[in-house]
Amino acid sequence: MASPPAPTSEHTDKPIRYIIYPVDAFKLDSISALLASFPNANVVEHVSVSGWGMMYWEAQLTSDQLQEVKSHQQVEEVEDPSTDADYNPDH
């Protein structure tokens, strides 16, 4: 009897919620398109009500998607809020 196939990263790489901060709150076309291209990322935009542009995004990313986002020229920083119990991106 043959062994079942080993799981692939696609099936074992559970998305994790990350906070993504842009370099420039107004130059966002490329990173917005990238985030929109990720299926099931559940991207949430947090836009300033005071006219400061995009403050940050929340998105559920796989490890491959995370690496792509981290290396994007329009991304300043990516944080994993699950590693900090007191984390609040608005402060």
Residue 6 included in any domain: no
| pLDDT for residue 9 | 44
Q: What is the pLDDT of residue 10?
A: 46
Q: Which of 76, 71, 72, 89 is nearest to 17 (CA)?
A: 89
- Confirm if 26 and 52 have CB atoms less than 8 A apart: no
Which residues span the domain enclosing 53?
12-83
Residue 71 lies in a domain: yes
* pTM passes above 0.85: no
pLDDT at 52: 85
Position 78 in a domain: yes
- Answer whether residue 68 is part of any domain: yes
13 pLDDT tier (thresholds 50, 70, 90): confident
50-86 pLDDT per residue, tens: 888 889 999 999 999 999 999 999 999 999 988 866 6
Q: Give the count of domains, the chain.
A: 1
- Specify the CATH number for the domain of residue 49: 3.30.70
In angstroms, rounded to a whole number, what is the distance separating the alpha carbons of residues 78 and 84?
Answer: 13
Domain annotation covers residue 38: yes
Average pLDDT, the chain: 85
